[in-house]
Amino acid sequence: MIRLTKLIFLGLVILGCKQSVAQDATFSQAFASPLSLNPALSGSFDGKLRLTSIYHNQWADQLDNPISSYAASMDLRFPLGRFKSNKQNALGFGLLALTDRTPGIRMNTNVLNVSGAFHKSLNLQNTQFISVGIQFGVLQRSLSYQTIFFSDQFNGTDGYTQISAEDFPENNFAVGDLSAGIVYQVSNANNLGLYTGISFHHLNRPNSSFYRTEPFGNIDIAAPIRYGAFVAARIPMGKVVQILPRLNAGYQNNRLDGNAGTTFRFLIDKYQGTAIHIGSWIQADFDENTNPQFNYLVGMMGIEYSNVLFGFSRNFSLQAINPIRKTWEVSVAYLGNYDDELVLCPKF
């Protein structure tokens, strides 16, 4: 006879699994983590080497152990066939590591992906590129049983210190994961540019259930595909100021979310490569009836110095019910063998 506590635990874990796979970890500074945004961005930058890292801290004012996400990536760009024509076709390869940590039952999600992209120049002036990318790797998920207690663990006086007789499934599993994306970009001699792309994450819909073996129900919870799209632009306002508007959206598990806004880039020193970025955008999601819910106003400040970029953003809650919800991000990126701005690539 299955115990009531086991049924309750089963329900909690299934609910937790469904919630955890319902939405992927996302970043306010979406372009600071290009390989988690779109696989076709692998190698889409001005140079030969790019290193990026970003840390997301959510609700630190309300949780003893806040929700946190980390991502780090490295990608390379290899020009192709320049001896045959003036077209600067290129290949891009990347490596992405991402960790998402949820407090409570300490459910952790770790991702390790490799990606490849082909960047095709569409004209001899190299002002238009279309990129196609694919990404595959391993998604690993775990939770801790040390933070879950049952009635048979009560010692009769002051706590739950006994060993439980409950049977638990394995609290750690790993599955293969597959994603793909397409990016189109166009620019002109005046440094005006447009950048847009679509992506498809979890195309193979891996099983994300802890109860995946026969003794525990053989339950299959397929990770929902996340569809992503973005549009970004670079609008020069003279030699010093650039306006960088963007729109980024994702659809997963019947939920549409996104952000829209702009940043301003102020060139301080052309020869030292020093510039300041200041901007803001609105984060929102939409219910099944497409009613918008505006969640955060994001303020961002970034600094470029030579080949290094630093970014910091802070989310300000727009919800009257809970106006605090302290959430912030910090990002760092390095561009090696920087060339020029032939390839348009949003930085934050």
* Structural domains present in the chain: 4-336 (2.40.160.40)
Tokens 């595959």, residue located: 136
Q: Is the Cβ–Cβ distance between 171 and 145 less than 8 Å?
A: yes
For residue 323, the tally of other CB atoms under 10 A from its CB is 9
Are 227 and 248 in contact by the 8 Å Cβ rule? The answer is no
Q: How many helices (H) and strands (E) does the chain have?
A: 2, 14
Query: How far lies 64's CA from each of 67, 104, 272, in Å?
Result: 10, 10, 42
Tally Cβ neighbours within 10 Å of residue 50.
28
Instruction: Say if residues 115 and 131 touch (Cβ distance below 8 Å).
Output: no
Residue with the two structure tokens 């760092």: 332
pLDDT tens, residue order, the chain (348 aa)? 334 344 344 444 444 444 444 568 889 999 999 999 999 999 998 888 999 999 999 876 666 677 889 999 999 999 886 555 556 899 999 999 999 987 766 788 999 999 999 999 998 888 899 999 999 999 998 887 777 777 777 777 877 777 776 777 778 889 999 999 999 999 988 889 999 999 999 999 998 887 777 676 667 788 899 999 999 999 999 889 999 999 999 999 888 899 999 999 999 998 888 999 999 999 988 766 777 888 889 999 999 998 899 999 998 888 766 555 678 999 999 988 765 554 456 667
Radius of gyration of the chain (CA): 23
